[in-house]
């Protein structure tokens, strides 16, 4: 500590002497250099001492750090084991959803809608009313003389249809274009009945039946 005080004093003297005569400045510089040379071993010894203490501290803390890492690793492993059933269940649900979407992804022809109040709508030409279900979640719809787009989502047994833009042509008398699009907007579920697709309407109000396009 005394050596560092000496250095501080030497530097202070050097600052004061900066405004003195050249001879005085040379004398001060010489004294500063001698002071630094004298203090150098102390500075080196202090640096070595600090390095030794840091190294010793790391060695002492090593077991504690390793133990903490071991505890953290154990907790992570326990967390993964706890979450495994949930992850497996989610993977199973995703796989089932993908299988269902793959099974639905084709072009279907509307065979008719039957409501729970016994009201029925049956197209004269099913090929004029199609539902093209695509794997990516998009729909392409032919509603007699009109076309429309849409999107669908699948969640277990539920299937929701969201209609997009559609043309507004005036179809011939007897067309079921508007009724067909209106029924699709109410879809809330889907199931297979043999080779046919049955879309259930919301509030369990009726069903739409489709057959694969020929």
Query: What is the rounded end-to-end Cα distance, in angstroms, of the chain?
Result: 98
4 falls in which pLDDT band (50, 70, 90)? very low
Does 152 score more than 90 pLDDT? Answer: yes
Residue pLDDT, tens place only, 156-189: 889 999 999 999 999 999 999 999 999 999 999 9
Under the banding of pLDDT at 50, 70 and 90, the label for residue 11 is very low
Give the per-residue pLDDT at 50: 61
Q: What percent of the chain has pLDDT over 90?
A: 50
Query: Does 25 score more than 90 pLDDT?
Result: no
Give long-range contacts, CB 8 A cutoff, 24+ apart: 154-160: 154/97, 154/100, 154/101, 154/104, 154/190, 155/97, 156/93, 156/96, 156/97, 157/189, 157/190, 157/191, 158/188, 158/189, 159/104, 159/187, 159/188, 159/189, 159/190, 159/199, 160/187, 160/188
Residue 54 clears pLDDT 60, i.e. is over it:
no
Average pLDDT over residues 70-79: 75
What is the value of pTM for the model shown?
0.58
Look over the chain and give the mean of its residue pLDDT values, rounded to a whole number.
82
Q: Looking at the predicted structure, is the pLDDT value of residue 10 above 60?
A: no
Sign of the alpha-carbon torsion through 186, 190, 196, 201: negative
Q: Quick one: pLDDT at residue 137?
A: 96
Secondary structure (3-state) at 82: helix
Q: Which residues of 180-198 are buried (b: 16+ CB within 10 A; e: fewer)?
A: bbebbebbbbbeeeeeebb
Domains assigned to the chain: 2-98 (no CATH), 105-212 (2.40.128.270)
Measured CA to CA, the distance from residue 27 to residue 13 in angstroms comes to 11
Q: Which residue has the higher pLDDT, 59 or 144?
A: 144
Residues of the chain above pLDDT 70, percent: 74
pLDDT score for 147: 98
Q: What is the pLDDT of residues 110-151, one digit of tens each?
A: 999 999 999 999 999 999 999 999 999 999 999 999 999 999
- Nearest Cα to Cα of residue 197 among 213, 208, 181: 208
pLDDT at res. 64 = 85
CA nearest 185: which of 203, 173, 197, 172?
Answer: 203
Cα 71–chain centre separation: 29
* pLDDT for the residue 127: 98
């Amino acid at each position: 500590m005394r050596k560092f005080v000496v250095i501080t004093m030497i530097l202070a003297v050097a600052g004061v002497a900066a405004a003195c005569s050249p001879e005085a400045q040379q004398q001060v510089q010489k004294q500063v250099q001698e002071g630094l040379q004298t203090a150098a071993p102390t500075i080196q010894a202090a640096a070595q001492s600090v390095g030794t203490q840091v190294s010793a501290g790391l060695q002492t803390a090593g077991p504690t750090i390793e133990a903490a890492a071991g505890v953290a690793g154990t907790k992570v492993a326990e967390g993964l084991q706890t979450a495994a059933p949930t992850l497996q269940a989610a993977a199973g649900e995703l796989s089932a959803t993908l299988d269902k979407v793959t099974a639905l992804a084709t072009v279907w022809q509307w065979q008719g809608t039957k409501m729970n109040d016994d009201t029925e709508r049956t197209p004269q030409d099913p090929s004029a009313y199609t539902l093209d279900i695509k794997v990516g979640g998009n729909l392409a719809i032919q509603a007699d003389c009109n076309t429309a787009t849409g999107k669908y989502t699948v969640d277990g047994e539920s299937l929701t249809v969201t209609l997009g833009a559609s043309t507004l042509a005036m179809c011939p008398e007897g067309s079921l274009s508007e009724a067909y699009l209106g029924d699709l907007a109410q879809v809330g579920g889907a199931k297979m009945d043999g080779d046919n697709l049955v879309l259930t309407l919301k509030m369990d109000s009726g069903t739409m039946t489709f057959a694969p396009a020929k």
